[in-house]
Structure 1
Amino acid sequence: MASEDVKSTGESAVTTIVNLAEEAKAPTGHAILSICKSLFAGGVAGGVSRTAVAPLERLKILLQVQNPHKVQYNGTIQGLKYIWRTEGLRGLFKGNGTNCARIVPNSAVKFFSYEQASSGILWLYRRQSGNEDAQLTPVLRLGAGACAGIIAMSATYPMDMVRGRITVQTANSPYQYKGMFHALSTVYRQEGFRALYKGWLPSVIGVVPYVGLNFAVYESLKEWLIKSKPSGLVQDSDLSVVTRLACGAAAGTVGQTVAYPLDVIRRRMQMVGWKDASQIVRGEGRNSVEYSGMIDAFRKTVRHEGLGALYKGLVPNSVKVVPSIAIAFVTYEVVKDVLGVEMRISD
């Protein structure tokens, strides 16, 4: 009798251990699958949103870096017409392949990092405040967005650097770079590893308000609209696609307006050291301006071209950012819904 009890107890113990092991495996496998789906959704969101506004993205960069003594692009409409006339349809999307190769992993890392950062910050906030029902405030969302932006920017910055150079190449410039990998290897070989991170500091400083405000404004607007439930905008405790697009547009407009001067300086610093830069940047018979650092770039840009130079390309960038950020946020949430990922950025 005793032996039977021992045997029964042993079998129960083994069964319990097996069940616990299976339960431990299930969440791990589910978590990995959820992470992959989240990264995939972020990548798709970035690729779709950036391709939709690729012509405006290229024009913005050309306006940012063109030589003030040899102006070829005088505005959004004129600039797009000039590119179409001189380079055709392919000219409008030049650098987009490289851009997507950068933005897809950047967007994937950014959205995933925001989810993780916001979860960690919320846990710390609830623990510190002692309120287990506390929710993220706009300031905390700003901090989570800033963390996500810094991580994503740092992880993919070399691709962004060479993308800027490829985008600046025109039909009249020497085609030094044949593609992203050729550009990466050429810059590394001719200018060294540090050249791949030229303009990194203003990029990181700029990404804090830009990405931070994007997430903070988008999330806060959505939360406010869901709570206030204005007529026609909320459907079954959720926002319509059009309303979410509007929230994303507002978020993008606020973020890019604050961070835009740093983006201009970043682009100009990225061109330093490029001996075969297009004449649009260097100018005929003129030496390109050399910058010793971010502050020096700000000072020389303002001294030589005025304060308005810090906002060159703002109009096409604004036209680009409004749909781009909106499409990215909505695409991300729609793809996650399709893939069946439970956690969304609002959660």
Structure 2
Amino acid sequence: MSKHNAVPAPVEEYDYEGLPPDYTLGHNMLAGAFAGIAEHSVMYPVDLLKTRMQIINPSAGGLYTGLTNAVSTIYRIEGIRTLWRGVSSVIVGAGPAHAVYFGTYEAVKEFAGGNKDDHHHPFAAALSGACATISSDALMNPFDVIKQRMQVHGSTYRSISHCARSLYRTEGLTAFYVSYPTTLCMTIPFTATQFMAYESLSKFMNPQKEYDPFTHCMAGGLAGAFAAGITTPLDVIKTLLQTRGLSQEAEVRNVRGLFNGAKIIRSQYGWSGFFRGLRPRIITTMPSTAICWTSYEMAKAYFKRYRESESYAASW
């Protein structure tokens, strides 16, 4: 058959994980940015509910008995638009942070031998996930602090720039990173567990390693739910640290770090306090990771197909 009659094989017939040599870091970062913005934008209202339910001693208007009560109370008192209050912060931060996240993931995975053959490489997946979250959280942490300050009931911040300026003026630069060590203590095991689970589930559900949106969605959602459940206690401490400046209690305002935060939660709520917001966290994370992985794999598939169509056109 002449090259003029040749038909390029569809993307599904290629080893999906074995990316072509000209698939650059930039492509991975663009795919990651797309995935991050899609994930955070869609699931933001549930993330706001999680933050509200984790606050220690909230104001009277911020007391909720459950998810349904939280939604109805916010709608009645503050209006439905409140559920998206602070979303601009995560949109601004999520694109660059997820670009770094997935760029690091793919680079470390390749370096650790995760793409060498068809065998499963859980260590490479865990290592690449841990490295990805260390680098991306350094960029995202200040935006996450701003987001949570704007999510709290009674917040008076008008915009992300207003919040950032006020926070810097009253609490200094350290306020943007006081929760970073705790964030890493949470996100490193979360991401390592999530990536291992995702790679394992993907290999089990899709042994041919083809582009399959259903597989990516299911594997991503299940992996995220599992990882979110076991790291909720650290997320509760992170929320305490990131919202400390809004508390009416001197002890909370002066909280110094991970262990001090854990002590405060334990003394006020007992062991059950470490699982405040568990349901909204899982409800947020499961579809979030499903959206994130599906968007990321879709963007990768698009870039791959585009490269293949370019190669085919060049052969004419």
TM-score by length of 1: 0.76
How far 1:181 sits from its partner (Å)?
Answer: 2.3
Indicate whether 1:38 and 2:2 are aligned.
no
Q: 1:323 pairs with 280, 287, 300, which one?
A: 287
CA separation in 2, counterparts of 1:86 and 1:164? 19
Contact 1:122 1:135 in 2 (8 A): no
Provide the rounded CA distance (Å) in 1 between the counterparts of 2:228 and 2:100.
Answer: 20
1:223 positional shift: 1.3
What is the distance in 2 between the residues matched to 1:46 and 1:237?
A: 23
- Evaluate the alpha carbon distance shift between residue 69 and residue 308 of structure 1 in structure 2; reply closer, same or farther with a 3 A threshold: farther
Give the percent of matched residue pairs that are identical in Structure 1 and Structure 2.
26
Which residue does 1:114 correspond to in 2?
105
Q: What is the CA–CA distance in structure 2 between the aligned matches of 1:242 and 1:133, rounded to whole Å?
A: 24
1:206 aligns with 2:183: no
Deviations 1:187-227 (A, max 9, x none): 22222211211111110111111111111111111112233
CA distance in structure 2 between the aligned counterparts of 1:120 and 1:136, rounded to whole angstroms: 15
Shift of 1:58: 0.2
User: How much does 1:48 deviate?
Assistant: 1.1
Query: Runs of 5+ in structure 2 lacking a partner?
Result: 1-20, 308-316
CA contact (8 A) 1:38 1:108 kept: yes
Q: CA contact under 8 A between 2:122 and 2:196: conserved in structure 1? A: yes
**Which amino acid is 2:238 matched to?**
R
Give 5+ residue unaligned stretches, structure 1.
1-29, 127-131, 228-235
Instruction: Work out whether residues 203 and 209 of structure 2, in 8 Å CA contact, stay in contact via their aligned partners in 1.
Output: no
Is 1:141 the counterpart of 2:141? The answer is no
Deviation (angstroms), 1:287: 4.5
TM-score of the superposition, structure 2-length normalised? 0.83
Tell me if structure 2 keeps the 8 A contact 1:44–1:331. Answer: yes
Paired residue for 2:151?
167
Sort the Cα spacing of 1:174 and 1:252 in 2 relative to 1 into closer, same or farther, 3 A.
closer
| Structure 1 residues 86 and 288: CA distance shift in structure 2, 3 A | farther
CA distance, structure 1, for counterparts of residue 305 and residue 173 of structure 2: 39
Q: Does 2:84 align with 1:93?
A: yes
1-structure distance, mates of 2:59, 2:144: 27
Asked if structure 2 preserves the Cα contact closer than 8 Å seen for 1:37 and 1:341, the reply is no
> How far is 1:186 from its partner?
2.2
Cα deviation digits, residues 142-195 of structure 1 (max 9, x gap): 121011111111122111111111111x3xx251x2222222222222222112
Other structure's SS at 1:74 match: coil
Instruction: Say yes or no: does 1:224 pair with 2:204.
Output: yes
The amino acid across from 1:326 in the alignment is A
Offset, 1:60: 0.2
Q: 1:111 to 1:265 in 2, by over 3 A?
A: same
Give the direction of change, closer, same or farther, for the CA distance of 1:188–1:201 in structure 2 (3 Å limit).
Answer: same
Alpha-carbon shift at residue 91 of structure 1 (Å):
0.8
Change beyond 3 A, Cα 1:267–1:328? same
Q: CA RMSD in A?
A: 2.4
Matching residue of 1:55: 45
Q: SS of the counterpart of 1:291?
A: coil
Decide whether aligned partners of structure 1 residues 139 and 246 sit closer, same or farther in structure 2, where only a CA change above 3 A counts. same
Q: Does 2:272 correspond to 1:300?
A: no
Give the Cα separation in 2 of the matches to 1:223 and 1:260: 27
Choose which of 157, 162, 169 in structure 1 pairs with 2:141.
157
Q: Is the 8 A contact 1:34 1:341 kept in 2?
A: no
User: Which residue does the alignment assign to 1:245?
Assistant: 217
1:4: which partner in 2? none
Secondary structure class of the residue paired with 1:238: coil
Give the C-alpha shift of residue 239 in structure 1: 5.8
Q: Aligned in 2, Cα 1:106/1:122: closer, same or farther, shift over 3 Å?
A: same
One-letter amino acid of the counterpart of residue 105, structure 1 = P
State the distance in 2 between where 1:222 and 1:113 align. Answer: 20
- 1:190 and 2:170 aligned: yes
Structure 1's 68 and 163: CA in aligned 2 closer, same or farther, altered over 3 A? closer
Give 3-state SS (helix, strand or coil) of 2:255's partner: coil
Secondary structure in 2 matching 1:178:
coil
112-121 vs 287-296, greater mean Cα deviation: 287-296
Between Structure 1 and Structure 2, whose CA radius of gyration is higher? 1
Query: Could you tell me which of 54, 63, 71 is aligned with 1:80?
Result: 71
Is 1:180 aligned with 2:160? yes
CA shift for structure 1 position 339:
2.8
SS at match of 2:112: helix
User: Are 2:54 and 1:64 aligned?
Assistant: yes
| Counterpart secondary structure, 1:292 | coil
Can you list the C-alpha shifts for 1:280-302, whole angstroms capped at 9, x where unaligned?
Answer: x53xxx55623122111101211
